[in-house]
């Protein structure tokens, strides 16, 4: 059974915007904070952003602060990552995760 | 930020071997440490969370130990299916941080 399903990745030009979505199984949606983690090609895992169960608290890596915003829609069991002013170094597979589960990832490529 | 340091960076062993990967945190993470396995071209999956809790469906040859700043992942009886990269990850404090990874080969 798929519990975390990401979508929204694509090719975008530098300076552009993109919104990623992650649909979460209702049975686990409110059990633990939800997180975005990314992995650049050939590199390790990098934490991006986390949103609390209530949605009242969010946390983001310095590398994306001011550009990326995490949010949640409890009526749709979905979290989002709004990514603005994208840079080449944001190119990565973006994973939605909720300890101890991972989604399958969605690829974001920032290139002209 | 809490730095997570894994050793070794690469590991080559034989089928049936017992292998251990170590992860050290620059400050205490209490028990809030997970181990992730990533096979080439695949999404990561959690093997161990809360330092020593085996995730559902993970073979019992995997085990985790430790608390505070020192943690280990042990594979008792390495299998060909275990080839991949292993990451430790602290989720005690933001920013969450990952180790640099340990590549395991047969």
pLDDT digits (tens, 9 = 90+) for B31-85: 999 999 999 999 999 999 999 999 999 999 999 999 999 999 999 999 999 999 9
Q: How many other C-beta atoms can be found within 10 angstroms of the C-beta atom of residue A43?
A: 11
Q: Are A88 and A110 in contact, with CB atoms under 8 Å apart?
A: yes
pLDDT at position A1, please? 74
Q: What is the mean pLDDT of residues B3-27?
A: 97
C-alpha–C-alpha distance, residues A64 and B49, integer Å: 26
Residue A99 to residue B100, Cβ atoms within 8 A = no
* Span between the terminal Cα atoms of chain B, in Å: 34
Residue B35 DSSP SS3: strand
Whether residue A99 is predicted with pLDDT greater than 90 in this model: the reply is: no
pLDDT at position A104, please? 95
Residue B44 to residue A103, Cβ atoms within 8 A = no
For residue A83, CA distances in Å to A18, A109, A110 come to: 5, 12, 11
Inform me whether the C-beta atom of residue B57 falls under 8 Å from chain A C-beta atoms.
no
Q: What is the mean pLDDT of residues B15-31?
A: 97
For residue B98, CA distances in Å to A23, B49, B56, B76, B84 come to: 24, 13, 22, 23, 16
């Amino acid at each position: 059974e798929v519990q975390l399903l990401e979508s929204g990745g694509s090719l975008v030009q530098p300076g552009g915007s993109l919104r990623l979505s992650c649909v979460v199984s209702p049975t686990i949606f409110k059990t633990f904070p939800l997180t975005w983690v990314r992995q650049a090609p050939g590199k390790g895992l990098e934490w991006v952003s986390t949103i609390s169960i209530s949605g009242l608290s969010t946390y983001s890596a310095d590398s994306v602060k001011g550009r990326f915003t995490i949010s949640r829609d409890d009526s749709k069991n979905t979290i989002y990552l709004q990514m603005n002013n994208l840079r080449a170094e944001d190119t990565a597979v973006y994973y939605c995760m909720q300890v101890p589960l991972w989604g399958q990832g969605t690829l974001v490529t920032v290139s002209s | 930020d809490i730095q997570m340091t894994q050793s070794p960076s690469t590991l080559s062993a034989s089928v049936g071997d017992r292998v251990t990967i170590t992860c050290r945190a620059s400050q205490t993470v209490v028990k809030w440490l997970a181990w992730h396995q990533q096979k080439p071209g695949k999404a990561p999956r959690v093997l161990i969370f809360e330092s020593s809790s085996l995730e559902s469906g993970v073979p019992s040859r995997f085990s985790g130990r430790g608390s505070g700043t020192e943690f280990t992942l042990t594979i008792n009886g390495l299998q060909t299916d275990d080839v991949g990269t292993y990451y430790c990850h602290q989720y005690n404090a933001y920013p969450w941080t990952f180790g640099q990874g340990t590549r395991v080969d047969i």
